């Protein structure tokens, strides 16, 4: 079974600064996907960024980027130029790739990190 | 990516009663997933609903407590039966966000359930 660990229950950052959220995972699988989801107080789960394990290049989405270290089983999220709207709970998630490359696998979530951006 | 309409957004229920949560997707999807998020906690998968077959439940969740229907490729319901205060949680449905591998999942807006 897979496990996902987020060791930072809470983080805070000043507006416009950079913050990094940590995530480690444990799996014996070779093909899988990793995700960061954001859950603001509205409780809507929003996909922030995704990474395929077979890709060495780190994923980037505007101000969000990841540092994917497959050998170390580490998947951290860096948020640059933090904005007040980034305040939310952030979840790291793992999904095993099902045969054929389809994504009908279940997500395993970490415990979450509450990020607060201060003005 | 798919758009999900989840109802109700919140409810306060008496213990011993049941609540049915609905999720409507704007496109056909093979699998729908139901999650529970207890207060201050992470998301835990309850079951996977595939159209035309019985739902597959995760360890710790049983059909009698959380019956699921999946009558077609765009709709599913989750019922929380014989509720107790321990069932107070946010319940979310989810579908694959786009076709292909690891496209990420889209979530409904969640149902905040309070059992009194």
Tell me what pLDDT residue A104 has.
Answer: 60
The residue assigned the tokens 């990094």 is A20
Tell me what pLDDT residue B101 has.
Answer: 45
Is the pLDDT reported for residue A99 higher than 80?
Answer: no
Is the pLDDT reported for residue A3 higher than 50?
Answer: yes
Q: Which residues of A touch B48 (CB under 8 A)?
A: 106
Least confident of A12-21, A22-31, B50-59, B84-93: B50-59
- Chain A within 8 Å of B112 (Cβ-Cβ)? yes
| Contact criterion met (CB < 8 Å) for A111 and B41 | yes
Cβ-based burial of A1 (10 A; exposed 0-12, middle 13-18, buried ≥19): exposed
Q: What is the mean pLDDT of chain A?
A: 92
Tell me what pLDDT residue A106 has.
Answer: 80
List alpha helices for B17-112, DSSP H: none
Q: Extract the tokens encoding B3.
A: 């758009």
- Chain A within 8 Å of B102 (Cβ-Cβ)? yes
Q: Which residues of B touch A102 (CB under 8 A)?
A: 100-101
Is the pLDDT reported for residue A1 higher than 80?
Answer: no
Tell me what pLDDT residue B98 has.
Answer: 59
Q: Nearest Cβ partner of A106 from B30, B33, B106?
A: B33
**Peptide bond before B8: cis, by omega within 30 degrees of 0?**
yes
Band of the pLDDT at A2, cuts 50, 70, 90? confident
Is the pLDDT reported for residue A102 higher than 60?
Answer: no
Mean pLDDT of A38-45: 89
Q: Which residues of A touch B30 (CB under 8 A)?
A: 104
Name the maximum alpha-carbon separation found in chain B. 43
Tell me what pLDDT residue B100 has.
Answer: 46
- Chain B within 8 Å of A107 (Cβ-Cβ)? yes
Phi, psi of A84 (to 5 degrees): -55, -35
What's chain A's length in residues? 119
The residue assigned the tokens 């416009």 is A16
Tell me what pLDDT residue B52 has.
Answer: 79
User: Could you list the pLDDT tens digit for every one of the 116 residues in chain B?
Assistant: 788 999 999 999 999 999 999 999 999 988 899 999 999 899 999 999 988 788 999 999 999 999 999 999 999 999 999 999 999 999 999 997 655 445 678 899 999 999 99
């Amino acid at each position: 079974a897979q496990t996902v660990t987020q060791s930072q229950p809470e983080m805070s950052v000043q507006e416009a600064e950079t913050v990094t959220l940590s995530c480690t995972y444990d799996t014996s699988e070779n093909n899988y996907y990793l995700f960061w989801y954001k859950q603001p107080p509205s409780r809507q789960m929003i996909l922030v960024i995704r990474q395929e394990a077979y890709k060495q290049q780190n994923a980037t989405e505007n101000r969000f980027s990841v540092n994917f270290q497959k050998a170390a089983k580490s998947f951290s999220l860096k948020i640059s130029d933090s904005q007040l709207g980034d305040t939310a709970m952030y979840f790291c998630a793992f999904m095993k790739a099902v045969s054929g490359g389809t994504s009908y696998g279940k997500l395993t979530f970490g415990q979450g990190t509450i990020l607060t951006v201060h003005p | 990516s798919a758009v999900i309409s989840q109802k109700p957004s919140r409810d306060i229920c008496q213990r011993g009663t049941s609540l049915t949560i609905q999720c409507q997707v704007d496109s056909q999807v093979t699998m729908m997933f139901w999650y529970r998020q207890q207060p201050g906690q992470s998301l835990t998968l309850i079951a996977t609903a595939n159209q035309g077959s019985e739902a597959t439940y995760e360890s710790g969740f049983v059909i009698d407590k959380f019956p699921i229907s999946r009558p077609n490729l765009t709709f599913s319901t989750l019922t929380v039966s014989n509720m107790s205060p321990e069932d107070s949680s946010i319940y979310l449905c989810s579908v694959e966000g786009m076709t292909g591998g690891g496209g990420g999942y889209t979530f409904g807006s969640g149902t905040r359930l309070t059992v009194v």
